[in-house]
Amino acid sequence: LPSTAHAAFLKAGHYLGIKVVRVPVNPGTFRADVEAMGWAVCANTVLLVGSAPSFAQGVLDPLEALADLAQRRGVPLHVDCCLGSLLLPLMDKLGYEVPPFDFRLPGVCSISVDLHTYGFAPKGSAVILYASEEARHHQYFVAADWA
């Protein structure tokens, strides 16, 4: 987890009892350090995270390189696109050079989108997208006896 990733990942690790390994980012660009993240991956790694963009600095992590690392190491990559989800596709259409940040990158398994950030939806409205039905299936929960 890059040290600039959203604090929600730390909260999730706490609740799920998962040790979160925070990796320092490049001090000059504030982008994820792919080499350092590669060294942090081990047999117990369950997820890599990249931001598009990070909240505090507004920079995109090197997602193409992170997706490549994820594929090589057999670990899913989640893209936190909460801040940029409604802007990045429009910037691309307006002619700005936007590097791939979504499912066009093999290795990206999920993307989080905040609809309340620039989407004029109520606070807390969010969506998680999955690259495959198999990954999405793990999100399901059924309580047939709930009244």
**Residue 22 pLDDT:** 97
Residues (pLDDT < 70) of the chain are 119
Q: What's the pLDDT at 124?
A: 79
Q: Give the pLDDT score at 134.
A: 92
Of 105, 110, 99, 116, nearest to 137 by C-alpha is 110
Q: Tell me, rounded to whole angstroms, the distance of Cα 39 from its chain centroid.
A: 19
Residue 68's SS3 state is: helix
pLDDT value at residue 141: 87
- 76-89 tens-digit pLDDT: 999 999 877 778 88
Q: What is the pLDDT of residue 88?
A: 87
pLDDT of residue 117: 73
pLDDT value of position 20: 97
